[in-house]
Amino acid sequence: MKASRLIRFLQRFLTILFYGELLFLFVLTPVGIVLFIRSTHPTSSGVRVQKLGEPEAGQGQPLPKTQLPLPEQQRSDEEPNSWMSSYLEINATVNPDWPHAHFTKWATFLKTPLPVRVDSTSAVYISKAPSASSMHYLEYRWRNWADFTTLPLPVILLTIVYPLLTIVLAVVITYMGKRLFDGLTQRGYFEPQQVSRLTTIGWLFMGYGLSEFTIHVLKFWYVRTTLLDYGLVMSPTVRLVWGWPAGSATLFIGAVILTLAHVFTYGLQLRQEHELTI
């Protein structure tokens, strides 16, 4: 059976995407990391990130280590262009009129569009997302390798390691998709290899969605704990917004692909029976 124009287009698209991802992962990313490490000087580190302390007694009360926004001049001095940041989203609807929200110092953050430093001894900020007015970020600033190594382990895992693993998984899915469409254009639709690849892609999508959901839960937990540690929200009335579960779209796509794989299995069975009918 001749492959349709759409199938051929998707085959070419996935081929280009796959090699683009390889270029990004194995060439551009390492080059970027090397250039960054070479351009920074560990000894000139200005503000160091300290590990977060244990939660204090009376958790949730405003802690004295939290400080108000710095004056404009001082703030600009502390924001050199060489900063890199690791962001964790705070999915909180910052609405002062919300009866259940007892965010103790959010009013301070609402007054300024600029990042607010939450701790005078470490480079931890709360910054506002540029587009969505209610979205904020827990921002860990660092500007060289030495700073980076002082970041809390959960921050490194959630903001650096996990995205890299996600990219690797995306490359594997793209590669499987490329092979699937190669097979569809060259050998036809109802072949055992195609069914097998489709099933693998379905399970990879399911794994991807599940990991997205897990990471979302872990981020939620970490951000909540951190905000409590800094006395920015009060327990137990802290309520961060929990919308559609993260990864639900990917899980749905995975389920659809697995269903399609079942249809292909049945099609393969029908084809084999047809061929063996004399």
Partner 1 sequence: MPIIVNVDVMMARRKMSLTELAGRVGITLANLSILKTGKAKAIRFETLEALCKALDCQPGDLLEYVETELELAHR
**Three-class DSSP category at 209:** helix
Output the smallest distance, CB 273 to partner 1, in A: 5
Choice between 153 and 276, CB closer to partner 1:
276
Choice between 43 and 277, CB closer to partner 1:
277
In this structure, the number of other CB atoms found within 10 A of the CB of residue 141 comes to: 23
Between helices 192-229 and 248-275, what is the axis angle to 10°?
170
Considering only residues 213 to 272 of the shown chain, the ones binding partner 1 according to CB under 8 A are: 272
Output the smallest distance, CB 271 to partner 1, in A: 11
Q: How many residues bind partner 1 (CB under 8 A)?
A: 5
Choice between 97 and 273, CB closer to partner 1:
273
Output the smallest distance, CB 269 to partner 1, in A: 10
Nearest partner of 103 among 140, 71, 158, 66, judged by Cα: 66
Q: Does 277 bind partner 1 (CB under 8 A)?
A: yes
Output the smallest distance, CB 278 to partner 1, in A: 5
Q: Does 273 bind partner 1 (CB under 8 A)?
A: yes
Instruction: Determine the distance from the C-alpha atom of residue 110 to the mean position of all C-alpha atoms in its chain, rounded to a whole number.
Output: 25
Output the smallest distance, CB 274 to partner 1, in A: 9
Choice between 30 and 192, CB closer to partner 1:
192
Output the smallest distance, CB 265 to partner 1, in A: 17
How far is Cα 46 from Cα 44, in angstroms, rounded to an integer? 6
Q: Does 276 bind partner 1 (CB under 8 A)?
A: yes
Choice between 216 and 271, CB closer to partner 1:
271
* Two structure tokens written together for 221: 């937990």
Choice between 54 and 273, CB closer to partner 1:
273
Q: Does 132 bind partner 1 (CB under 8 A)?
A: no
Beta-strand ranges (E) seen in 91-207 are: 116-117, 124-128, 136-142
* Two structure tokens written together for 251: 């899980």
**DSSP assignment string, 82-141:** T-EEEEEEE-----TT-TT--BSSHHHHHH-SS-EES-TTS-EEEEE-SS-TT-EEEEEE
Contact call for residues 122 and 49 (beta carbons, < 8 A) = yes
Instruction: Determine the distance from the C-alpha atom of residue 23 to the mean position of all C-alpha atoms in its chain, rounded to a whole number.
Output: 21
Q: Which residues bind partner 1 (CB under 8 A)?
A: 272-273, 276-278
